[in-house]
Amino acid sequence: MDYERYDRVRAVIWNGNALDLLDQRVLPLQQTRVICGDVGEVAQAIFDLVVRGAPAIGIAAAWGLVLAARRVEAGSGSEAAAALVGATNQLNEARPTAVNLAWALRRMNAALASAGANWRDVLASEAAAIEAEDLVANRHMGQLGAALIAAGSGVLTHCNTGSLATSGFGTALGVIRAGVAEGRIGKVYAGETRPWLQGARLTVWELLQDGIPATLIADSAAAYLMSTGQVQWVIVGADRITANGDVANKIGTYALAIAARHHGVKFMVVAPSSTVDMRTASGSEIEIEQRSESELLGYAGQRTVAEGVRAWNPVFDVTPAELIDAIVTERGVVLRPDAQRMAEAWNGVDLS
């Protein structure tokens, strides 16, 4: 397929000296880029949601470690790894739920462990490889996921899982891009995704750049939309997939899965293998990030509720495996995931 036609946005760019991030807090009204010159700025950008989406966070963290290495004097990779523990922890703590962040940092440190005096070059090469492999994986996942969809289907997606959330093309949005290109998807709906409105601000804007029409809906309209028969698949990404097939993703995903099951709508999760966490048995063991209640009490710096009102703001939820019809990674498709099927799919695969 013509990938360039359906993939025109880049959120994370390494320019050789610094990390150049498209500021996703101000899209679509402004297209501003934030330049990060040290590891602290990268960690803050991850925490502040300048960069977001599990794969993009992992890529940004990898380059953050490259920036941190500039302040380290070491004769070997193992010495450098020891000196970079503080930077690794700083990046790891920026967003605890998305497993790609920890995965990317583990991979970077593993590359360091066997490096010699050229450890800085090794570190930069590993970050570049993480980024390049993500793009290849996304394009392959797009084809695998699209193959599950009958021609002319309507789909609903949640949050943003496209080029803005990855190195390019996207995970769930990559399936949608491939499905549109192949004529399998006739209509795309996007939920607004409160409270940060990633669907409203990012997903429909990103699809617009590629000439893909998308219809925005309120999150609370999703179940009714399903009841009308206009949607055959819900397609979402993931921030962590556990050994039994449970999936942590943006808050609201669980509600969509429940509504989809009730209405006979299929539910697909699309994520790279770096999102699979076979060390975690089930979703009940996942740390769910809690963000400031101010994100619910106002918008764009303007308070919208009465003084004295309190809020609860988990930004992820866990969808049980039994509500998922397919998990798609670049390694293949797991249908009706459970602990046994996940174990079979990932038997012998090194996810460290």
208-242 pLDDT, tens digit each: 998 999 999 999 999 999 999 999 999 999 999 99
Helices 54-69, 119-146: axis angle to 10 degrees equals 170
Q: What is the mean pLDDT of residues 258-281?
A: 96
Give yes or no for residue 97 having a pLDDT over 90: no
Sign of CA dihedral 279, 12, 237, 26: positive
DSSP, collapsed to helix, strand or coil, labels residue 250 as strand
* Strand bridging mode 247-250 / 266-270: unpaired
Give yes or no for residue 351 having a pLDDT over 70: no
HSE of 50, CA atoms in CB hemisphere, 13 A:
22
Ordered domains of the chain (ranges, CATH): 4-137 (1.20.120.420), 139-346 (3.40.50.10470)
Q: What is the mean pLDDT of residues 161-188?
A: 96
Residue 213, preceding bond cis, omega within 30 degrees?
A: no
Sign of CA dihedral 329, 332, 335, 338: negative
For residue 239, indicate whether it is catalytic: yes
> How many Å apart are CA 310 and CA 293, to the nearest integer?
7
Q: Encode pLDDT of 27-39 as tens digits.
A: 999 999 999 999 9
DSSP, collapsed to helix, strand or coil, labels residue 93 as coil
Lowest mean pLDDT among 155-159, 188-192, 298-302: 298-302
pTM given for the model: 0.90
DSSP string, 273-334: GGGEETTS-SGGGSPPPB--THHHHEETTEE-S-TT-----B-EEEE-GGG-SEEEETTEEE
* Diameter of the chain measured on Cα atoms: 65
Helices 39-47, 85-92: axis angle to 10 degrees equals 20
Q: What is the mean pLDDT of residues 105-118?
A: 93
Q: Identify the band that residue 305 occupies on the pLDDT scale cut at 50, 70 and 90.
A: very high
Lowest mean pLDDT among 176-185, 197-206, 291-300, 331-340: 291-300
Q: What value does the mean pLDDT of the chain take?
A: 94
DSSP string, 205-225: HHHHHTT---EEE-GGGHHHH
Q: Identify the band that residue 6 occupies on the pLDDT scale cut at 50, 70 and 90.
A: confident
Task: Please state, as a whole number, how many other Cβ atoms lie within 10 Å of the Cβ of residue 271.
Answer: 30
Q: Identify the band that residue 2 occupies on the pLDDT scale cut at 50, 70 and 90.
A: low
User: Position of tokens 């309120």?
Assistant: 218
Residue 272, preceding bond cis, omega within 30 degrees?
A: no
CB 249, CB 237: distance < 8 Å: yes
Task: Calculate Rg over the CA atoms of the chain.
Answer: 20
Task: Please state, as a whole number, how many other Cβ atoms lie within 10 Å of the Cβ of residue 348.
Answer: 4
CB 99, CB 240: distance < 8 Å: yes
Give yes or no for residue 57 having a pLDDT over 80: yes
Among 210, 219, 239, 246, the active-site one is: 239
The dihedral formed by the CA atoms of 160, 162, 166 and 171, expressed in degrees to the nearest 10? 100
**Can you list the positions of beta strands (E) in the chain?**
12-14, 19-22, 33-36, 153-157, 185-191, 215-217, 233-236, 240-242, 247-250, 266-270, 276-277, 298-299, 302-303, 316-319, 326-329, 332-335
The one-character DSSP state at 154 is E
